[in-house]
A and B are shown apart, each in its own frame.
Chain A
């Protein structure tokens, strides 16, 4: 009974669109974010001295004037900390020691009694540099001519699935060698070869990064921050500073948008390093919006070469892809994005012959980090346009072409893994249907042209093979339930599905469940990180296990008290009932105080505390030369998007009139929240397709503000985004669920690009497809006249 929650006859909230558990506190303004925490009069404010050069040796740092400024309590430089830090490849110092590698690289930090004094102190720090030649293009960076940015690459500590090439700027080289690509070209009826350049973009959460650190007299560290990864931060900071993980406590309240940039360690280590010099006093570091743009992790730029061919019937025969990822100055996540793009490099297609080289390349650009999609939006941007072009080359409808080739259950994937059950074909068919594929709508004005486009996607959680989750389910006196997790609420709704799953697995009403906040590494159970769209699946498995554990404890107690068999008992709607004796007892009281035995014969039971954990154990390594292995990833979420656009021939402005999103989520635990992810992801994808690009000139960011870096506003979104939920169950997901958060923006750029082509017959080139760029492309093609 306890092992099969699906067998429970009780009504449960799985599949119900229950209201978000965090909504009320967020609408009344009482929800606490990291910048809202109060630290009293002892609080110090930190500011950072940053490099203004993209690549230089540090010859001298003079902090004497800054130290002499009244109100300054500490000045820290790279001299103070020699330990490396990094997630997969430990390639940076907390503060630069010998050289700077991007504009914004932290050189020194100041703590002072006010932000103004800290800022003045930073101005007083003198740094003498010897400028070095820079690398501003990843393809050039990978070439032997490029200056070497990390001469010590061979000495860095590195995870065993990352393959740096010491003596070059290549921090990871991932290869796929499947079948025989060279032999396959001869059999192709059509071959398309294209190059795409995808620009850097920024995550732009509305909440900037903020971290407050306090180090006590014994050296124990406490860090309050806006964090997707409290446990990873604890681990990386402890390792870098030579501390025990148990002596670093990370407290993480609600995150005001993350999208990846608040994963791993970025500015948090700076706050801790400064706080170590002013023991006992909290030190707060808050990035300005400008710093947010040029010093927070960026979505890496990509230069991608695709070559793909098919036979006369439209069957894909071969792909040969080369990706140069602009990893930036250091590679917090970039090396693994490179790997993920490699093992998913066929896109969601069945291709018998694939050769891929995916390179992560050091450049003198901002540090590449994980952003919603983890390389997949960038890769699919080109790949899904090539698919359209190849379909055209064999005179086949792009939807039909995709139907033939898209990944289906049981297919052998590019790594040799066998595809699990997937509803990709259904996503494709339904998205095409919903957009009215094949029908051309008349434009809204004579100077406008309309077009439709479609794109598919796939994405696996990209993480170490053994990324784990755990959860606790504790019962309270009144029968309510407190669920403790280490996975973060970053807006995606993780706390709400945590409550739904605990309620369902335990057998209590959803409004009896509370989620313990804020996350605190001293009290919350371990969670690897809130990334990779893995929480619903991985943390969900841990929660259901913990709730079943609590359920078992309760049923055992009642069985003993009633002298019944556990198999005859159930928990429904917060009551234990017996199908045999037809007795019932509320969870209230008994889950803390136990149950008295008849005739004062003592008690059974006691406080109920369920625990659960989950870790995938079946992911295998991949061969370093071929990228082949039995199980590359845990699973793939797949989906499709279709759009209708209208292009203004007078201005080049592209408007997205309609969007359709169809994704196979396995099981929608909360369908409205799934739809909300699909809509929000679509709009973020639209924003990157039409507006967003970090304009880097010799490493200097030209547009570090919302005025110059435009993101989609309320007036840019189509009035109608249709969302379609497909549910082909994941075998090891809770109730069959798998993730959806990131996937929702993966196919948007190519869907829009394909629609623009359908409207005006032009491939505009690199996103974003701004009015200016589209107009100039039309001018060049002779579609319009000056």
Chain B
């Protein structure tokens, strides 16, 4: 099992990591770098709990090999808040009661961030579509969808003030 030394940017900071060929991005994040906010729910790309941003796109990190991430930019749930200030999607999901057990939450938040980045005014249907790969067993999704719509509105009013 060959090891590979890769350099990549995670949550704004450069990291150099030695990874075996078969190691997934999820394993690297959790086991090598202790970014345990990203969750392992199925290890098969089916539940979305391990969603991270890879060069701005939401991906299931359990389906990506770490070696593929040489030079990449990764954002995990730990990278959403800036200087202790929550991302609007984080604040909105708290305010709307869209968190219960919290295990799907990191993946949901990353998918939401990716959606708002590419579509600043998503409709409820567009939000539901964007979340279809993020399984949640607790909330019934409604409060999450409301939160994301609210987060988009908050972000816009925040941007208008800047």
Contact = CB atoms under 8 A, between A and B. Distances in A.
Nearest to A709: B46
A26 B102 contact: yes
A706 B132 contact: no
B135 A706 contact: yes
B38 interface: yes
A289 B46 CA distance: 10
Interface string A246-283: 00000000111111000000000000000000000000
B95 interface: yes
A17 B36 CA distance: 30
Interface in B29-64: 30, 34-44, 46-47, 49
B140 A715 contact: no
Most A C-beta atoms less than 10 A away, residue of B35, B86, B100, B135: B100
> Which 5 residue pairs are nearest across A and B when measured between Cβ atoms?
A29-B37, A256-B103, A491-B101, A26-B102, A683-B140
B100 A676 contact: yes
A244 interface: no
A204 B137 contact: yes
Nearest to A257: B101
Nearest to A706: B46
Interface string B87-116: 000100111010111111110010000000
A256 B80 CA distance: 21
A29 B99 contact: no
Nearest to B101: A491
Range for the number of chain B residues in contact with chain A: 35 or more
Contacts of A208: 40-42
Contact of B90 (A17, A27, A204, A259): A27
Given A29-B106, A206-B104, A36 B99 contact: no
Given A24-B86, A207-B103, A705-B42, 10 more contacts: A24-B94, A27-B109, A36-B36, A256-B101, A258-B101, A289-B42, A491-B100, A681-B140, A683-B142, A706-B42
5 contacts: A30-B37, A207-B101, A706-B47, A714-B144, A717-B128
A28 B78 contact: yes
Contact of B39 (A207, A259, A288): A207
A781 interface: no
B63 to A, nearest CB: 13
B96 to A, nearest CB: 9
Given A28-B90, A36-B36, A719 B124 contact: yes
A333 interface: no
Contacts of A257: 101, 103, 137-138
Most A C-beta atoms less than 10 A away, residue of B38, B102, B127, B140: B140
B97 A206 contact: no
Interface of B: 30, 34-44, 46-47, 49, 76-78, 80-81, 86, 90, 93-95, 97, 99-106, 109, 124, 127-129, 131-132, 134-145
B140 A206 contact: no
Contacts of B94: 19-20, 23-24, 27
B97 A673 contact: yes
Contacts of B90: 27-28
A29 B38 contact: yes
Contacts of B138: 257, 491, 680
Given A206-B49, A679-B140, A22 B77 contact: no
Contact of A207 (B35, B36, B41, B143): B41
B46 A256 contact: no
A28 B124 contact: no
A679 B34 CA distance: 34
B128 A288 contact: no
A721 B97 contact: no
B45 to A, nearest CB: 9
B76 A715 contact: no
B109 A715 contact: no
A4 interface: no
A705 B44 CA distance: 9
A563 interface: no
A205 B100 CA distance: 12
B141 A289 contact: no
Nearest to A670: B97
B109 to A, nearest CB: 6
A343 interface: no
A706 B49 CA distance: 13
A564 B136 CA distance: 55
Interface in A8-33: 17, 19-20, 22-24, 26-33
Contacts of A38: 34
Most B C-beta atoms less than 10 A away, residue of A204, A206, A255: A206
Contacts of B43: 288-289
Interface string A665-693: 00000001101100111111000000000
Contacts of B134: 714
Contacts of B77: 27-29
A26 B102 CA distance: 5
Contact of A711 (B124, B135, B139): B135
Given A27-B109, A29-B37, A206 B128 contact: no
Given A27-B105, A683-B140, A33 B135 contact: no
Contacts of A426: none
Contacts of B76: 29
B133 to A, nearest CB: 8
Nearest to B77: A29
Given A28-B37, A28-B78, A679-B139, A255 B101 contact: yes
Nearest to B78: A29
Contact of B132 (A203, A714, A721): A714
A259 B36 contact: no
Nearest to A35: B40
Contacts of A24: 86, 94
Nearest to B141: A714
Interface in A188-223: 203-208
Nearest to B38: A29
Contacts of A22: 99, 102
Most A C-beta atoms less than 10 A away, residue of B37, B132, B143: B37
A31 B94 CA distance: 14
Nearest to A256: B103
A707 interface: yes
A492 interface: yes
B46 A206 contact: no
A20 B97 contact: yes
B53 to A, nearest CB: 13
A451 interface: no
Contacts of B137: 203-206, 257, 259, 684, 711
A29 B136 CA distance: 16
Most A C-beta atoms less than 10 A away, residue of B102, B109, B143: B102
A28 B46 contact: no
A546 B137 CA distance: 33
B140 to A, nearest CB: 3
Given A491-B138, A715-B129, A705 B37 contact: no
A493 to B, nearest CB: 7
A490 interface: yes
Given A28-B77, A28-B81, A29-B36, A206 B101 contact: yes
A679 B102 CA distance: 16
A393 B39 CA distance: 53
Contacts of B132: 713-715
B62 to A, nearest CB: 10
Contacts of B131: 713-714
A256 B107 CA distance: 13
Contacts of A17: 97
Contact of A490 (B42, B101, B142): B101
Nearest to A744: B140
Contacts of B38: 29
A207 B145 CA distance: 21
A616 to B, nearest CB: 27
A257 B143 CA distance: 17
Contacts of B128: 714-715, 717
A288 B102 CA distance: 20
Contacts of A203: 137
